[in-house]
Structure 1
């Protein structure tokens, strides 16, 4: 029962985060005039599909693992290629209004073999009807439908409605909107958590409580002290305190605290193994606030705290070298979900906000195939005055996909080894 509950909570959290992310791309693509061919909830085989008046096909798919959007012209292969056998339906003006790529033929369609086609600029199909030898040219309506192999109907995309026709600014906003939505979700969810908790942490560097028999207590720290310097580096927020302490396991470092207006130097032995997986700890808690505005602002302070910690970890990769243990895949997420699922809705909401922030940051990394990589390509286009060729962008994207696939396999195997072996 516990395992089933963990799986359900994990799928709900993951799906909410991903769908909110994809909705950001969807919304700003629509504003830019880019055709969203499909907005899917879930992955895998189609369970339900409904095409809206806006030309977008909304689908529900079998595997409840997030979702996706398909933007016309962005990293998509055309479903129809020369040599394919398709069925064409013509309207009263003899324009093609339906292109059926499935094996199931309709009574009123004309079976043909594609010879040439252009479904973005000149909007035509040149094809050889069954039983004939010479090709025939058919004009294609700008609102024609393509019936894909699984029966999903999507709309053709004339050039003006494709991703490549948007301005650089519109492309950047469309790509940035996914991570932006993750940050918005995180802010709202952390604010809800702040309202549900009896008090919220004060993001200043003031100490709210010191745990007995821990490094902070042994060094002479007291509740009410304000940490202003760690290891000769200034700090002013609790996020900075946490990030720096966690990065110093097993080390003895100088700390300066402000107490009653006086600066007091201390020396503290941070717990943890210098070369191990554990992070540094000293046994202190942040000061707490109970005001309504403080609870609402917790949405911003907690989100920024997560961003700061993640960026600190990423920065550590350059100063300390790459460590696979810095990453966690689906197995690690499922394990973490099992730990929070019994701790109540507040903890689950906190976990969802934490993951949403992480997903937003990771997607902004300048890696091809991620949103950050696409934004880099957009900036290159702005500098060059024209985009890279689709062939070059395709190669760059494939390299990114391969890199991410290898990283995902490595991270997942590391998670499995750590959890089960």
Structure 2
């Protein structure tokens, strides 16, 4: 249960922050946001505040912001039976599509035609009457969907496509950008919790007593410039080089914090690790505890992860694509289960890493993803007019099918990896 709750918490935070980006910039552009949902599938809970209905749905595998006029189909159709709630001017204030909700003073109608975009009316046969009756619909009238979700209708000027191209692009890109912001915040918090930033530079931190490093007179803050005349660029390079030479004298070029350089010969002690003899000189990683390092840690770590992901994506084209390089919900859950054992620090780091990954993945120019929508925005800007809704619908459908097939392959691969 602890692992399930951690998975829901981690995934929920990332999804909510992502969708909040879309939500905020849509509202800022004057687009009516009908629904802000966490999860997919059947509705578990909903609460209406202002113009937006906030819902929690059964499957915690993502979320969405439903913007008026944005890839949505109206649930109401001619021939459907609805219940109308009228105000004092006999204008429609609510249209009920839920057959399980019956209101005593509601007007039952079989819909023949309607327009909620410009003319704002609904027409149909009321009760047993044969003549068609037409009612005006308020701009802020509510629509009760079949599952009981309460949404607001949207005149054309409040719909997504009516916003300027710039505002639509901002709305599309805002989700991934908020993921990057979340990662920056997570890694900054982590730096303060850890008391500083763990450096990957070959700088000496702690020194074990009576170790080869201590006997050679090395000090905290010294930098390893080279080993056996081979330049050392990172802490990882240094560790791997030392591990390869247990009990063998090695020539170290050392640079002190004052900039002075000297050479020392150290012989790494032999230590058995997982059945293999490796060399160690008794030093720990350097932690930069300065305020500036802590404040910039989020930016540098986020940029580093973005760079690594871009290199990985580039390898798909140069080295060949493999599903083994991707992970889906099963892999995320399995990794979260392991991360839980490391405590709060591990969870925060995992949130930052996942958030960056989600941001990058959503920016890929694949139809149905934010990057695909941005690509269509760019095409619209070049053509000076948008693609037809029919063509855009076909493109989006292709993207959805591609992602669906990819998700099945990735999930099956995850199941085989973690359970077989």
Return the TM-score normalized by structure 2.
0.80
SS of equivalent to 1:81: coil
Shift of 1:22: 0.6
- 2:110 corresponds to which residue? 113
Decide whether the 8 Å contact of 1:16 with 1:66 is kept in 2: no
- What is the CA distance between 1:44 and its match in structure 2? 3.3
Inter-partner Cα distance in structure 2 for 1:392 and 1:150: 30
Q: Give distance in 1, aligned partners of 2:419 and 2:284.
A: 33
CA-to-aligned-CA distance 1:28-83 (integer Å, 9 cap, x gap): 11000000101123443333333223x11122334444432111111111111122
Aligned to 1:230: none
Report whether the alignment pairs 1:150 with 2:147. yes
Alpha carbon RMSD of aligned pairs, Å?
3.0
CA contact (8 A) 1:207 1:285 kept: no
**Structure 1 residue aligned with 2:269:** none
Q: Is the 8 A contact 2:199 2:285 kept in 1?
A: yes
**Structure 2 residue 343 is matched with structure 1 residue 344:** yes
**1:253-268 mapped onto 2 (5 Å cutoff):** none
Correspondence for 2:188 among 180, 191, 197: 191
1:14 paired to 2:27: no
- Partner residue, 1:100: 96
Compute the displacement of 1:315 (Å). 0.5
Task: Tell me the equivalent position of 1:397.
Answer: 396
Within-5 A mapping of 1:228-239: none
Partner SS for 1:343: coil
CA distance in 2, matches of 1:326, 1:114: 52
> Residues 326-350 of structure 1, C-alpha deviation per residue, up to 9 Å, x if partnerless?
1000111111112211112111110
> Which of 56-65 and 325-334 deviates more?
56-65
Distance between the aligned counterparts of 2:129 and 2:398, measured in 1? 43
Residue 370 of structure 1 is matched in structure 2 by: 369
The answer as to 2:57 corresponding to 1:61 is: yes
Question: In 1, distance between residues paired with 2:376 and 2:418?
Answer: 38
Q: What is the rounded CA distance, in whole Å, between the counterparts of 1:116 and 1:394 in structure 2?
A: 24
Which deviates further from its counterpart, 154-163 or 340-349?
340-349
Q: CA deviation at 1:225?
A: 4.1
Partner of 1:251: none
Which residue in the other structure is 2:382 paired with?
Answer: 383
Length, aligned pairs only: 367
Structure 1 stretches of 5 or more lacking a match?
210-221, 228-234, 246-256, 263-282
Q: Is the 8 A contact 2:118 2:155 kept in 1?
A: yes
What is the 5 A alignment of 1:157-168?
Answer: 157-168=154-165
Given the alignment of the two structures, is residue 51 of structure 1 paired with residue 70 of structure 2, yes or no?
A: no
Residue 123 of structure 2, aligned match among 108, 122, 126: 126
How much has 1:396 moved relative to structure 2? 1.2
1:223-273: CA deviations, max 9, x gaps?
83469xxxxxxx9899xx99xx9xxxxxxxxxxx997699xxxxxxxxxxx
Distance between the aligned counterparts of 1:285 and 1:386, measured in 2? 60
Residue segments in structure 2 that go unaligned for 5+ positions in a row: 206-217, 227-231, 241-251, 262-279
Question: What's the offset of the Cα at 1:134?
Answer: 3.1
Deviation string for 1:117-160 (max 9, x for gaps)?
21112212222223233322222111111010111111000011
Is the 2:184–2:302 Cα contact (8 Å) retained in structure 1? yes
For the residues of structure 2 that align with 1:258 and 1:135, how far apart are their CA atoms?
93
CA distance in 1, matches of 2:165, 2:331: 37
Q: Please name the residue that 1:331 is paired with.
A: 330
Q: Does 1:320 align with 2:319?
A: yes
Hey, what's the Cα distance between the residues in 1 that align with 2:85 and 2:125? 14
* 2:15–2:38 CA contact under 8 A, matched in 1: no
Q: Does 1:82 align with 2:93?
A: no
Corresponding residue number in structure 2 for 1:414: 413
Contact 1:208–1:288 (8 Å) recurs in 2: no
CA distance, structure 1, for counterparts of residue 204 and residue 154 of structure 2: 59
Specify the SS of the correspondent of 1:378.
helix
Structure 2 SS opposite 1:137: strand
Q: For the residues of structure 2 that align with 1:236 and 1:178, how far apart are their CA atoms? A: 36
Distance in 1 of aligned mates of 2:303 and 2:163? 32
